[in-house]
Structure 1
Amino acid sequence: MSDPFGDLALALGAFHLLRPLWLLMLVPILALWWVNRRAATRAAEPMDGIAPHLRAALSVGGGARRRILPIDGVALVLGLAVVGASGPSWTRQADPFAAQAGPLVVVLKVTPSMASTDLAPTRLDRAKFKIRDLLALRAGARTALVAYAGTAHRVVPFTEDAGLMQPYLEGLTPEIMPEPGTDAARALALAREMLAEEEAPGGILLVLDTLDPGGAAALLRNEEEGSAMALEMLPADAPRTEWPGRATVVRTTADDSDIRRLDRSFEVDFHRAMLSNEDLPWEDRGWWLAVPAAILTLIWFRRGWTMHWAVVLGALIFTPPGAARADGIADWFWTPDQQGARAYARNDFSTAADLFVDPMWKAHALYRAGRYDEAIAVLEPMETAQASFLLGMTYIKNRQYRDGVRAFETTLERDPNYPGAAENLAMARRIVEHVEAAREASDTGEQSGIGADDVVFDNEDKRGADTTTDRQPRDGGGGLMTAEQWMNTVETSTGDFLRMRFQIEAAEAGK
């Protein structure tokens, strides 16, 4: 089971200071505090020979040693400012070039035992409900689906569109699986292969009733490579089973607490893996201390609590170098890049693109917002492998395939081992070859008109006529068909389609 304090322990373990030399400022602050407090609490001159009742009336501030003095509040505020300036950090900055949640492979057991009705309506149906809840909870995160019985099959590759997975998930039944049995080891191996193709660290979630011995051994191996979790589709009164290793195992519940617990455990594991990524800069959390320091300064409005020298010193510590901004209240608390990251996390990519100052972050937000021409303008002057890779992706999205080929070639020149560059270069070349071959096949020597809604592809090799493609949707509506609409156009059911595909895959694997 996962440690409920895992995220706290993770933060404490990663805690460090980005600018530790700032802590040297604490020495003069403590010295000023000691000198001022010593002077304010110095013992009064002896008043021997005065009657006790007159001595008591003439004595003021006798409890000064025990009172909180203005210098105490000033020293605390300045101390908070210095610690904040030292740059406390325990998290990495989010990489806009990667997803903000780790990729997850859901491995679903599809066997006759999952058709048991001890969980209404059946264990399998309840499992599908839970997977739908998980997809809704992980909206926008990359998720894949694997089904297994005697064989294991990739049902849906990694996708950010939860709606795309729904029809395939519904079509999974024990009857469509080509071979009986429970080979969880093969399913876990397939899931690991899929995760190996992802850039970000990910995990595997097993959704099943019981685990076979081979799957238990495979689960132990998976723990060494990433997050391992399981959702037991068994009634609450069923006997507890022993799971191997440190896998996070949660038994299904009537509410969504089981899914939330698994998601939280996976999130902690994902953040732990991201902390080890040295390519990401550490996030400066010092601004958090500005809030309590600002609240404490409110007492300076009291008469006798204002220390002018402290105001000047505090302003020097709190004010960072650079031009001041006063575009809005948000600028008082967050930098433009931090505001852009917040908008990016809300999937408001267009707003994030307008807020980001960092060119790489800005380009990625423009890419996600579909503002490809603007993204190209930002990326072209940059001379890093990461920039040329994103430039290639942007060119492909903008149907500038030859420019995409050049960008991926530049990426490999800058970094021959850049992840995904070689594969994307090969794919871009195949697209160009396909377009050129289509031109040759369509070259009839006639000049055809090009409609306003047609897209013309480049023709640098002058192979055949310019190829055009109609942008008008084939469903007769004003936009692209959804996954459900597309599935409705297919004559056969999703289950029949999966049965045929699984049988072909099983036959090819047996050769």
Structure 2
Amino acid sequence: MTDLAVAFEAFHFIRPLVLILLPLIAVIWWAVRKGAVRDTPVVAGLAPHLREALTLGVDQRRRLLPIDGVAAVLGLAILGAAGPSWTRVPDPFVAQTAPLVIVLKVAETMEGTDLAPSRLERAKQKIRDLLELRAGARTALVAYSGTAHSVVPMTDDPSVMQPYLQGLTPDVMPEDGDDAVAALAIAQALQAKEPSPGGILFVTDGLDTTQISALTVDDETSLAALAMLPDGTADAGLDAAPFLVVPATPDDADIRKLDRSLNAAYQRALTQDGDQPWEDRGWWLAVPALMLALPWFRRGWTMRWAIVLVLGCGLWQPGTARADGVADWFFTPDQQGQIAYQRKTYDRAADLFADPMRIGWALYRDGQYAEAAKTFARIDSADAAFVQGMAHIKAREYRDGIAAFELTLQRDPDFPGASENLETAKTILSYVEEAREQSDTGEEQGIGADDVVMDNTDARGADTELEGGDASEALLSTDQWMNTVDTQTGDFLRQRFAIEAATQ
């Protein structure tokens, strides 16, 4: 299923009752146009060809009249007011991109240099570009040749995948070959752990024709392949594949096409989610309506009553008008903020939004957790209190987070996730305070903390000052620590794959 098919399936009007005005506009248009069109007068004793040449307005029925433009503009205005929609407002706490498992073929055939610098290196470049395009969406990596192995499980941090991707070469694989079926089984197992449907992408230079019939997935999982072959080179397995196969291109057109296709099933699932409101797309019709209104400036096309009606409708629109720029002529502040939000410029989106809830979302996604918590605190709803608690936890303000989750349950005792998050926040706070008490008494905890958190409003334990030498003498930087590790990623993968192959 493509994005277009998903949009057609979800298309509807948010305010369908407004469409009742369309027949009224059609009746008015017909009455005005009929009165404006005159019948050809009959003049006795005048030849037909002379009568046609000397009579004005004979072709009036066929040409456009001012009422035609007015009716078209009003029709577009009514359609826009009805609220056409086919997507939901993005949930800032849910990834808008499907989880994806990338299955990379790491065999001797991928060492071919007909794609510079080689098929395998070009495939790695394409995978990096895809990771950048997906902007931190959950992605896993599987490698296969004669055997198949999970390289990196699902992660939303693309930097984790980079060293493993670099270490994949044919010599780290236990056997050379083309066992795509085993790779698909591992990819499906990784996808099964995800709560939402996703996709599987084969990055390969060919498929075994005897395995094509086994390369199938369920309806909720998208399957596609990126063919790492030069122009004019074909592969019988890829040609017979029952799923989308996209040839590698010099630019990013191939990965963009694959991303749209693999994301279609996920977008359909998000559309069917009833929690988020529908996104009003009626403003899209403003541009064609304005273009059709341009002839009103011509002499003979002016219809003052229509202009008054359109201006009246414009003045009736709710909200506070702003004159900050040309964009304010066409888009509301929330629409401008939504555009910035979709472009992932969350700080600008927070400045543009007028809706406090959306402002808080944008601040949260931008990492401004303290400001987001203050924004949500001014909204009297269970949703706002819940996200306020999440923001406090992200800012390591655990007591404030506990209070926010308790407020959520006061407003809505059945709010999903509030009880679980409340218990988790209490557990974290208790762990931090116990660790502080044990550090004061000299006891060893056994599990270190990643960050030092100062949250001791109960005055449990005592502040302790430790004396020691220069910390820079004992602690190594990340680069220094990495330089002390002799084992390369490829060596690690070779040993791991060999053990897995021996135990299979």
TM-score, normalised on structure 2?
0.79
Cross-structure match for 1:16: 12
Cross-structure match for 1:493: 488
2:480 and 2:201 mapped to 1: Cα distance? 29
User: How far off its partner does 1:396 sit?
Assistant: 2.5
**1:152 to 2:136 alignment:** no
1:375 to 368, 372, 376: 372
Cross-structure match for 1:390: 387
1:229 to 215, 224, 232: 224
User: How far off its partner does 1:333 sit?
Assistant: 1.6
Cross-structure match for 1:451: none
2:423 and 2:170 mapped to 1: Cα distance? 38
| Secondary structure, counterpart of 2:76 in structure 1 | helix
User: How far off its partner does 1:75 sit?
Assistant: 1.8
User: How far off its partner does 1:317 sit?
Assistant: 4.2
Q: For residue 144 of structure 1, what is the amino acid of its counterpart? A: A
Contact 1:178/1:502 (8 A) holds in 2: yes
Cross-structure match for 2:445: none
2:303 to 304, 307, 311: 307
Q: Provide the identity percentage.
A: 54
Range that drifts further, 287-296 or 320-329? 320-329
Contact 1:147/1:153 (8 A) holds in 2: yes
Give the 3 Å change call, closer, same or farther, for CA 246–410 of structure 1 in structure 2: farther
Contact 1:183/1:214 (8 A) holds in 2: no
Aligned pairs (5 A) from 1:208-227 = 208-211=204-207, 219-221=215-217, 223-227=218-222
Give the 3 Å change call, closer, same or farther, for CA 254–306 of structure 1 in structure 2: closer
Question: Can you give the 5+ residue segments of structure 2 that lack an aligned partner in the other structure?
Answer: 443-450
Cross-structure match for 1:345: 342
| Superposed CA offset, 1:405-449 (max 9, x none) | 565677789587947984x6676566445433431332159xxxx
TM-score, normalised on structure 1?
0.78
2:118 and 2:42 mapped to 1: Cα distance? 89
Give the 3 Å change call, closer, same or farther, for CA 399–215 of structure 1 in structure 2: farther
**1:438 to 2:428 alignment:** no
2:29 to 27, 33, 58: 33
| Secondary structure, counterpart of 1:326 in structure 2 | coil
Contact 2:100/2:140 (8 A) holds in 1: yes
Please, what is the CA RMSD of the aligned residues? 4.3
Q: For residue 301 of structure 1, what is the amino acid of its counterpart? A: F
Cross-structure match for 1:327: 323
| Secondary structure, counterpart of 2:225 in structure 1 | strand
Range that drifts further, 207-216 or 170-179? 207-216
Range that drifts further, 336-345 or 380-389? 380-389
User: How far off its partner does 1:398 sit?
Assistant: 0.8
Give the 3 Å change call, closer, same or farther, for CA 372–287 of structure 1 in structure 2: same
Say how many residue pairs are matched.
485
1:186 and 1:127 mapped to 2: Cα distance? 20
Question: Can you give the 5+ residue segments of structure 1 that lack an aligned partner in the other structure?
Answer: 446-453
Q: For residue 362 of structure 1, what is the amino acid of its counterpart? A: I
1:172 and 1:197 mapped to 2: Cα distance? 25
Aligned pairs (5 A) from 1:52-451 = 59-111=55-107, 114-115=110-111, 121-148=117-144, 150=147, 152-155=149-152, 157-160=154-157, 162-176=158-172, 184=180, 187-192=183-188, 194-195=190-191, 198=194, 201-211=197-207, 219-221=215-217, 223-234=218-229, 237-241=233-237, 246-253=242-249, 256-328=252-324, 329-380=326-377, 387-404=384-401, 418=416, 422=420, 428=425, 431-443=428-440
Contact 2:164/2:489 (8 A) holds in 1: yes
Give the 3 Å change call, closer, same or farther, for CA 415–106 of structure 1 in structure 2: farther
Q: For residue 226 of structure 1, what is the amino acid of its counterpart? A: T
Contact 1:14/1:90 (8 A) holds in 2: yes
Range that drifts further, 265-274 or 325-334? 265-274
Range that drifts further, 175-184 or 397-406? 175-184
Contact 1:96/1:361 (8 A) holds in 2: no
2:72 and 2:142 mapped to 1: Cα distance? 56
2:462 and 2:183 mapped to 1: Cα distance? 48
1:275 and 1:487 mapped to 2: Cα distance? 45
2:156 and 2:286 mapped to 1: Cα distance? 40
1:475 and 1:285 mapped to 2: Cα distance? 57
| Secondary structure, counterpart of 2:340 in structure 1 | helix
2:313 and 2:351 mapped to 1: Cα distance? 30
Give the 3 Å change call, closer, same or farther, for CA 330–139 of structure 1 in structure 2: same
| Secondary structure, counterpart of 1:306 in structure 2 | coil
| Superposed CA offset, 1:305-356 (max 9, x none) | 2222222223344555423412332222222222112112222211111222
2:152 and 2:452 mapped to 1: Cα distance? 33
Contact 1:151/1:178 (8 A) holds in 2: no
User: How far off its partner does 1:178 sit?
Assistant: 6.7
Range that drifts further, 254-263 or 76-85? 254-263
Range that drifts further, 57-66 or 407-416? 407-416
| Secondary structure, counterpart of 1:443 in structure 2 | helix
2:44 and 2:263 mapped to 1: Cα distance? 71
Q: For residue 357 of structure 1, what is the amino acid of its counterpart? A: A
Cross-structure match for 2:454: 457
Contact 1:73/1:296 (8 A) holds in 2: yes
Give the 3 Å change call, closer, same or farther, for CA 180–382 of structure 1 in structure 2: farther
